[in-house]
Structures are given as structure tokens and as C-alpha cells.
Amino acid sequence: MSKFITLEGIEGVGKTSNRDYIRDLLEATGKPCIVTREPGGTALGEALRELLLQHAQEKISDDAELLLMFAARAEHLHKVIRPALAAGKYVLCDRFTEATYAYQGGGRQLSMDKIAELEKLVQGDLRPDLTIILDAPVDVGRERAGQRSAPDRIEQEKNDFFERVRSAYLDLANLHPERICTVDANQPLAQVQQQIKQQLQSRDII
């Protein structure tokens, strides 16, 4: 049976580093898996990602940013996620709607109710079966991400923005423990992977 798994967390916590590890665990237990990301995953989504993350001269308004995230998501659900789930595949997605609650809700301080309305409009009742939030202090994530590449438009925000994002993620995990878990990402990679494996095993995913 298909499952929809998403990876979340502030920048630099190791989502990309752990994606292949999870895919390998799934495939080793006979679960066909596609790996995708948000914003992105389709031609339109990747074009919107470029617009959203590039260093444009003109500031994007908060509502436009929110709507573009959901526009990319609508396309992604229609073209990639729903068809893969219908074909019995596992879908492993680097960020999804919890990122909108965390960044646009927590970081930008937009109304969580407004986000919930868009979630309902775009997704209906579809929610990830499991969301793994990789959690680490903001300075740890930023330090790791900074070593890797120059900051994009959103990464240029100040620390208090990312503290709000982190805190919104932790609130989501408290609100929906049945489908959202946190993993301590302020550990060596092998220990982070051990925690991820335990979460997947305890939820009968592998």
C-alpha cells in the first residue's frame, strides 16, 4: 500500500542528506519509491521555485509568496503525487504543507486559518502519512547550510524569523503526533539516521 512521507525542518538540518537514506530503506523492504521536493517537482513548480528563491530586486508580498507555494503544490499533487500514490508507490517529498505553516505561518506570521483554508482547497483530505521534522538549533542549521551554498531569498531572513519557523514546526508536531514526529538532528548523521529508522519501524513503514 502506498504511503506519503515528507521531510521537514529549518535550512541545513539534513533533509537532503537523509532523503536517499530513507529511499534506500524503503526500496530495501520492497517498496517502490519516488523522491520529489517542494516547491518544485514539476516543470511549473521548478519555475515557481526559481522565482520564489532567486534574489529579485522587487520584494514578493507575503500573500503572493503563500499563493505561489500552493500553486506549485496544486500542480505537484495533480501531476506527480496523486498519480504515484494511486499507482501504489511510496512518495518521499522534501518539504510540503507543514513548511507553509512553518515559514509563511510562523516565519511571515500569516494567519494559520488562511493557510488551513488553502490546504483544504488544494489538498482536500490528503495529508502525509508521516512527516519527519529534523530539529536542530537555528545556529546549527544555518552554519551547516552556510558552508554549502550562498543564501537564497528566504535564507537571507534574520535569526528571529527562523526561530519562529522552528517553533511553528514543533507546534505542528505537538498538534498532530499521530502523523508528525521530530528527530534530533543536532547529532552526527549516523545517529540521526538511527532515529529515522526507529520512527519508520515503529510506524510499520519498513
The residues binding ligand Z5A (CB under 6 A) are 9, 11-17, 38-39, 69, 94-95, 99-100, 103-104, 144-145, 147-148, 154-155, 185, 187-189, 192
Distances from the Cα of 73 to the Cα of 35, 39, 49, 114, 151, angstroms: 15, 7, 11, 16, 23
Rounded to a whole number of angstroms, the minimum distance from the CB of residue 52 to ligand Z5A is: 7
d(CA 74, CA 123): 8
Nearer to ligand Z5A, 9 or 33 (CB): 9
Nearer to ligand Z5A among residue 129 and residue 155 (C-beta):
155
Residue 83: CB minimum distance to ligand Z5A, A: 20
Of 1 and 191, the one with the shorter C-beta distance to ligand Z5A is 191
CB of 196 to ligand Z5A, least distance (A): 11
Q: In the complex, what is the shortest distance from the CB of residue 55 to ligand Z5A, in angstroms, rounded to a whole number?
A: 13
Cβ-based neighbours of 8, under 8 Å, separated by 6 or more: 15, 95, 96, 98, 99, 102, 131, 132, 133, 134, 169
> With contact defined as beta carbons under 8 Å apart, do 155 and 13 qualify?
no
